[in-house]
Structure 1
Amino acid sequence: MKQIGAIIRQGPRHWAIIQQENGFGNIALSGTWAMREEDEFNAAQVYVRVVGEEDGREVLAWQPAAMQPGRAWSITLHAIAQGGLYRLETCLQLDGNPALEWAVRGDMVHHIGVGDLWVIAGQSNAAGYGKGPFRDAPELGIHLLRNNGEWDLASHPFNESTASIHYENREWANPGHSPFLAFGKLLRKEVGVPVGLLQTALGGSPLKAWSPDEDGVLYRNMMSIIQSAGGKVRGILWYQGCSDCTPADSSSYLERFGSAVRHWRRELNDASLPVLTVQLNRCTDAPTEDADRSWGRVREAQRQAALAIPDVHVVPALDCPLSDGIHNSPAGNMIIGERMGKAALAHVYGRAAVHAEAPCLASAAFAETEGLPGIRLRFANVSGYLLAIGPVSPVFSVEDRDGEIAVDGWQITGRSEITLKLARAAEGDTLVHGAYRMNPSSFLPLDSGTYMPILAFYGQPVA
């Protein structure tokens, strides 16, 4: 049987989140209208309104659509206040009947919000491979654009490929738990607006897949998905780097990541688009010297990117538990999601009271300790004071022109200062590293104010 009334052909789908700008969002709709052949009338007019999904209160009164040839119609609803969840309702008025509550039926779109869209990009820990039971239930107001092209209530696993229309980021295996529902819950609670998540990550993907300077296949897929959601987003959540832990790729990671960020911002016409990143967690594979140094270089590039590129921020993960040799467990993902959420609150939403920075090495200088050669490390972004969980743990390493210098121990010598004791005096140019290996010490110095560990560093010259 043929449908009658107002029919929506294009516009947001159920559960969609519309990106707000300055606290308001716009919604474009278009469609057709129809009546039975036996119905008699002289004129028809489509109307559209917005109501609260929870209580039915009228948010935007009935608005007349532009009527077009071929029984088509279109309308753009302007200045819808951020919030929701909302319901879009349409109806068909015949012959100017003012009682719109009795107009001919129309299509509706349920559970939509005006809030912020965040893109999830990177490799498997962004796609979410946490295995095992967890308590991280769906929550109204945190929605996900699934790989089938339809919006849904966000629930794990995010990057599952049922009826996928995006083969570019289809996972080989079923993914699991990810950090980003926890991220969305924190923002929803603190900022009070709906959060939409666009999943574009792919396990094992190298950086070159995300840059049009190189392969660019996932860059193009990401931009296509963003355009399908309206073309504007609040920021990008980036967790990637394991696949670039080779001598060649790690050495160029910082430069290539900076180029990728510039392309993302240019394509999205947002020169200050926030990019929240995660410094790589550990990998428990059998280490080699090349692998250790490659992981160190990528972690250092991630630290340097946050220092050198405006509106790029990094959170640590080295203290987070794993569910296999390289993937964060659900417990680890909950920690990372909260850290990324706090980074967004501090740097994107202007919450000055939120301390979201991990201790970051600021300087390294030679210093005597108890009459023996040593190195004094000073850290920025310490909100409380540095706290040693395992002061005998081999966190730091030093090398000079003659090779590695044994670190006989280290101790915290100030609120934001650590002093290393060296087995011998350094000769010539000297470098210090912290937690740089594939699987470094599990007992890193912590900030007592946030209980975040220091960011790993590699190749810091000693003054």
Structure 2
Amino acid sequence: MQIGAIIEKGPMDWQIIQQMNGQAVISLSGSWTAKDNAVAPRVFARIVNEETGETVIPWKKSDDEGNGKWKMTIANVPAGGLYRLETCLSLNAEHDQAMEWAVRGDMIHHIGVGDVFVIAGQSNAAGYGKDPAYDPPEIGLHILRNNGKWALASHPMNESTGIVHEANREISNPGHSPYLSFARKLKRALGYPIGLIQTACGSSPLSAWNPEEDGYLYRNMMDILHSQEAGKVKGVLWYQGCSDTAVEESLTYLERFKRMTTRLREDLDDPGLPLLTVQLNRWVHPVHETSDRNWGRVREAQRQAARQIDGVYVVPSIDFGLSDTAHISASSNLVLGERLARKALTYLYGKPVLCDAPDIEEAVKTGPGQIRFQFTHVSDRLFVYHQGAEELPFVAEDDEGFLHAVGFEQTAPHAITVTFNREWSGACRVHGAFEQHPKSFVPIDFASHLPMLAFYDIAVKESE
């Protein structure tokens, strides 16, 4: 039988605890056992720097619960680590006693205080990059694995060895994820650990994440968070949408995503909870009659979500390479993680860097068959790779069908005027890189080299 202080409830080894205003609170409880020579036994705990053994929080006396039980709360644990939490049992707490000679106690190793992000969505959130890429584990980048235990984060993040919540078990072995790269960049910029909680599941539709529909993966995610007594998390990393590229689902995607976001913030008691989202890449697969429009509608919903919902942010992925017909490659995932981290640094941490992709602001008729595409978030100038008009990702549409580009001119650093093959009749709308498998090159901001966000069904205005 074990003696001394026994921890029955508290953080796990490797756990990252969410900081608030640069500090965290750690709660512990357990039992103690001692021989008959205990006069006034009491459990103590302290926190030390794991690299040096230096004291961070000195020995603190627990509350005696009676019947050999104890509990305590350690406040003001500074953001940082890794830390080691030590306990011991003083046999006579009413008199001074050197803690180094107290009866032994349990310890918790490799814990950190930093920011925790939840990974949610479908296969590109789970991570299916299959090409080699250097993205090694690093102390201070930790993950709550599917076996219910915290560990050093490494790929594949959503593997299912010993899984304790089968709702998000992958059918096949996943691969490389963008989120280790994301966490690494944040840790280096912020100077404290980053934790990841993986809840994604390949092929999952939005209905699985929306508690007003099926919602089984939403409930699974909340169960995982509650099992950790996580309380607050810093934000949600969301990549999802491929499974909603059918007519009905694409038409309702934005409103259903809004409802999911509202419920998530309510259930986590965090009305401003940030969601860092990714606009869909592509699917290299035969196109059926409505698939281009369906993909365009989902991408436009993702673009609009970032415009219409406070605390929702979006980055493009349209320029990334694939490992197969649908999954972002490992080498591109490294860049995707960095894009998301730059967005987080700017909007979550007040550390501005170039992170916003060019975004269509308006489309204006400037002459017969001519439309000026004007963009926001252009730091330097739009760059179109000196390609021919036929390679531009822009199309116009009226009641007679599509109009195709036959010429263009860069009329301002943030604007491109395109000449189409005919004048339109009636109302005209424009789309950009909206298809299931769009053209390879899209305009970029030359300073950030971020590609424009895809857009769909934007009304053309008359020139004033």
Report the TM-score range of the alignment, normalised by the length of the smaller protein. over 0.9
Distance in 1 between residues matched to 2:13 and 2:158, nearest whole Å = 19
- Tell me which residue corresponds to 1:111: 110
Cα distance in structure 2, aligned partners of 1:270 and 1:94: 44
Counterpart residue number, 1:178 = 177
Deviations 1:145-170 (A, max 9, x none): 00111000000010001111110100
Deviation at 1:412, TM superposition (A): 2.3
The residue number in structure 2 matching 1:315 is: 315
Structure 2, unaligned runs of 5 or more: none
SS of 1:462 mapped into structure 2? strand
Alpha-carbon separation, structure 1, partners of 2:198 and 2:113: 19
Q: Quick one: which amino acid aligns to residue 295 of structure 2?
A: W
1:226–1:232 CA contact under 8 A, matched in 2: no
CA RMSD of aligned residues (A): 1.0
Give unpaired runs (5+ residues) of structure 1: none
How far 1:287 moved relative to its partner? 1.1
Contact 1:391–1:411, Cα closer than 8 Å, also in 2: no
Residue in structure 2 matching 1:374, options 353, 365, 370: 370
Question: Is residue 130–residue 176 contact of structure 2 (8 Å, CA) maintained in 1?
Answer: yes
CA drift of 1:390 comes to: 4.9
- Whole-Å separation in 2 of the counterparts to 1:163 and 1:433: 46
CA contact (8 A) 2:78 2:113 kept: yes
* Whole-angstrom CA distance in 2 between matches of 1:409 and 1:292: 23
Change (3 A) 1:163 1:390: farther
Residue 255 of structure 1, CA deviation: 0.6
Tell me by how many angstroms 1:41 deviates.
2.7
How far does residue 178 in structure 1 lie from its aligned partner after superposition?
0.3
CA contact (8 A) 2:280 2:318 kept: yes
SS of corresponding position for 2:293: helix
Secondary structure of 1:398's partner?
A: strand
Cα deviation, residue 217, structure 1: 0.5
Is contact 2:23-2:76 (8 Å) kept?
yes
In the alignment, which of 80, 89, 94 is matched to residue 92 of structure 1? 89
Count of residue correspondences: 456
- Give the whole-Å Cα distance in 2 for the aligned partners of 1:454 and 1:75: 52
Q: Deviation digits for residues 434-463 of structure 1, max 9, x if unmatched?
A: 000011011111101110100000000001
Instruction: Report if aligned partners of 1:395, 1:444 keep a CA contact under 8 Å in 2.
Output: yes
TM-score by length of 1: 0.97
Deviation at 1:288, TM superposition (A): 1.9
Question: 1:394, 1:41 → 2: CA distance?
Answer: 81
Share of identical aligned residues, percent? 50
1:359 and 2:358 correspond: yes
- The amino acid across from 2:147 in the alignment is N
**Whole-angstrom CA distance in 1 between matches of 2:441 and 2:237:** 27
4+ residue runs over 6 A deviation:
none
| 1:44 counterpart (41, 45, 59) | 41
**Gap change, CA 1:394 and 1:382, over 3 Å in 2:** closer
The match for 1:409 is: 407
**Secondary structure, aligned partner of 2:333:** helix
Contact 1:390 1:444 in 2 (8 A): no
Q: Tell me the secondary structure at the aligned position of residue 252 of structure 1.
A: helix
Measure, in 2, the Cα distance between the counterparts of 1:162 and 1:449: 43
Q: Deviations over 1:352-406 (max 9, x none)?
A: 3x121000000001113xxx52100100011111011253214111111221122
Structure 1 counterpart of 2:120, one-letter code: A
Aligned with residue 77 of structure 1, among 74, 78, 82: 74
The equivalent of 2:382 in structure 1 is 386
Q: Contact conserved, 2:369 with 2:419, CA < 8 A, in 1? A: yes
Distance in 2 between the 1:42 and 1:441 partners? 79
- Alignment match, 1:254: 254
Moved more, 94-103 or 436-445: 94-103
